[in-house]
Amino acid sequence: MSVNSRKDVVILGAGLAGLSAGHALSKAGRHVALIEAGSTVGGMSRTVVGDGYRFDLGGHRFFTTDKRIEEYVKKLMGSEMLTVPRKSTILLRGKYFDYPLKPLNAIFGLGGITTAKILLDYGLQRLKNWPAGKARAVSLEDRVVRDFGRALFNLYFKEYSEKVWGVGCDRISADWVAQRIRGLSLGVAVKNALFKVCGKDLPTLADHFLYPSLGIGRIAERLLEGTGERGTLHADTRVTRVYHSDGRIERVEAHNHKGPVVTEGDEFVSSIPLNTLVGMLVPEAPWEVRDAAARLRYRDLVVVAIPVDRETATDQSWIYFPEKSVPFGRLHEPKNWSPLMAGEGKTVLVAEYFCFRGDDVWKARDEEIVETTIVHLEKLGFVDRKTAEGGQVVRVPRAYPLFEVGYIEHVTRIFEYLNGFSNLHAIGRSGMFRYFNMDHAIESGLDAARDVLGKTPVPGEATPPAVA
């Protein structure tokens, strides 16, 4: 077994959360080891380079309401960052609608009867909520029906949510909805339409976003470059055990192609999936903590990129497909995000299949998935088979934490235990089991760095330096 040199901070996982922590800590003078199972950095926010094209694992726009994080990323990326207009549609009952729904577009597209039914249902639901206030919602279904009425739930939320999550809307936690669909209420949509007429905008429905000209993976690459000599990346190295004693993490054991390797450190920052971390602890966590970890599930993703011999195939950022007749849930065309994502006269379409590991699509041969994707892209009118040939498939395990009813109790139980370790910092989307976008993942890494710096000040430094 080989042993790495001891580090001030050992970081598990080099996605955006781990890299942000590493970047901030190394800039503040700490020596960090980043241990990453993948062969490149970036985790879910990486860009795959194909033959003459590039694509993200599902289009990744950078958008944040936190000015501090926005400035941090803009400074990091400099002139690489483009400002890109967002234009998305959703296929409902065979017609494309703006996404998020815009009232006029919805009214004309859905027809008078459906629109009247939605508005009537919405009005009745508001009356029902009025005397006693809104009833407590447990599931996504409760929450959306309570707030928008059943007609809109059936039309707009049910199918897509069930496609994304793979479980019924009555099993998805309402707590998750609270974070997620704030910007989709009819009220906000109406206000947005009115303000747009007046030339103003509402922050919840951003219609522009930031994007690096060579793909989202550049943010991770820049963060790694910025860690400099004080940061050591161990790629293709999977952590398998986390040893602890007396309320402190002491070392981690990982495996790479040469065999096991041990890394010791003073502080440990983990962005690997929360339940994986619990399962790696030696001595093992108490039974109820392992049981809570075993109950947390993730949704997996198969991403399929189809190169096409055309300048562009759509004019959209994303297109959403709730209907079961289309096997993938979402499509994006990277060239609409940055012209550098494919060569001249070429483009690439990227389809996302939401699934669980073990589902047919996960197990299917790559050629079969590529063929199915081309067949459906042709049916939808985006490609002509003569211009689309071959493709690339990437399987993304644990793409989405699955927020099933009751998940908060399990997560709380796990953190009650993990918080007992004085030198362990859990960060990131899978690491904290939170619905984090990139800005939140970065923020969690910077927060962990600040915690570490606060605990171990450099002699002569009165307060920990600001990291962002």
Ligand X SMILES: Cc1cc2nc3c(=O)[nH]c(=O)nc-3n(C[C@H](O)[C@H](O)[C@H](O)COP(=O)(O)OP(=O)(O)OC[C@H]3O[C@@H](n4cnc5c(N)ncnc54)[C@H](O)[C@@H]3O)c2cc1C
Distance CA 456, CA 448 (A): 12
The H-or-E segment that residue 220 falls in is helix 217-227
| Residue 136 beta carbon to ligand X: minimum distance, rounded to whole angstroms | 29
Pairwise CA distance, residues 49 & 391, whole Å: 12
Q: Which of residues 18-47 bind ligand X (CB under 6 A)?
A: 18, 35-38, 43-45
**Which residues within the stretch 237-256 sit at the binding site for ligand X (CB under 6 A)?**
238-239
Smallest separation (angstroms) from ligand X to the CB of 301? 6
Nearer to ligand X, 346 or 434 (CB): 434
Give every CB contact of residue 402 below 8 A, 6+ residues apart in sequence: 165, 166, 167, 296, 297, 298, 299
Using the rule CB under 6 A, give the single segment among 11-19, 83-91, 224-232, 288-296 that binds ligand X.
11-19
Least distance between ligand X and beta carbon 438 (Å): 3
Stretch that binds ligand X, among 15-23, 80-88, 151-159, 373-381 (CB under 6 A): 15-23
Answer yes or no whether residue 272 interacts with ligand X by CB under 6 A.
yes
Segment 295 to 314, residues that bind ligand X, using CB under 6 A? 301
Can you tell me which of 58, 149, 322, 334 binds ligand X, judged by CB under 6 A?
A: 58
Contact mark string toward ligand X, 368..407, x via CB under 6 A: -------------------------------xx-------
Q: Which CA distances in Å does 324 have to 98, 296, 301, 316, 354?
A: 20, 26, 16, 21, 12
Helix/strand/coil for 393? strand
Among 61, 146, 251, 425, binds ligand X (CB under 6 A): 61
Judged by CB under 6 A, the stretch of 137-145, 184-192, 196-204, 427-435 that binds ligand X is: 427-435
Query: What Cα–Cα distance (Å) separates residue 321 from each residue in 78, 88, 165, 328, 331?
Result: 35, 11, 14, 7, 8
CB of 171 to ligand X, least distance (A): 20
3-state secondary structure of 10: strand
12 near ligand X, judged by CB under 6 A: yes
Cβ proximity to ligand X, 103 vs 183, nearer residue: 183
CB of 44 to ligand X, least distance (A): 4
270 Cβ neighbours under 8 A, 6+ residues apart? 11, 12, 13, 242, 277, 424, 425, 426, 427, 431
Q: Determine if 147 is a binding residue for ligand X (CB under 6 A).
A: no
List phi, psi (to 5°) of 290.
-65, -35
> Given 3-state DSSP classes, what are the helix, strand and coil percentages for the chain, each rounded to the nearest 5?
45, 25, 30
Q: Which token pair is 449?
A: 């760095």
- Residue 282: burial class (beta carbons within 10 Å; 0-12, 13-18, 19+): middle
- Smallest separation, CB 74 to ligand X (Å): 15
Per CB under 6 A, the list member of 13, 212, 322, 401 interacting with ligand X is 13
In what helix (H) or strand (E) does residue 89 lie, and over which residues does it extend? strand 88-92
Task: Figure out which of the listed residues 4, 26, 271, 314 binds ligand X, where binding follows CB under 6 A.
Answer: 271
Residue selected from 156, 176, 321, 436 as contacting ligand X according to rule CB under 6 A: 436
Helix 16-27 crosses helix 217-227 at what angle (to 10 degrees)?
Answer: 30
Verify binding: residue 60, ligand X, rule CB under 6 A.
yes
Query: Does residue 430 belong to the site contacting ligand X (CB under 6 A)?
Result: yes
Residues in the site for ligand X, rule: CB under 6 A? Answer: 12-18, 35-38, 43-45, 57-58, 60-62, 238-239, 271-272, 276, 301, 352, 399-400, 428-431, 436-439, 441
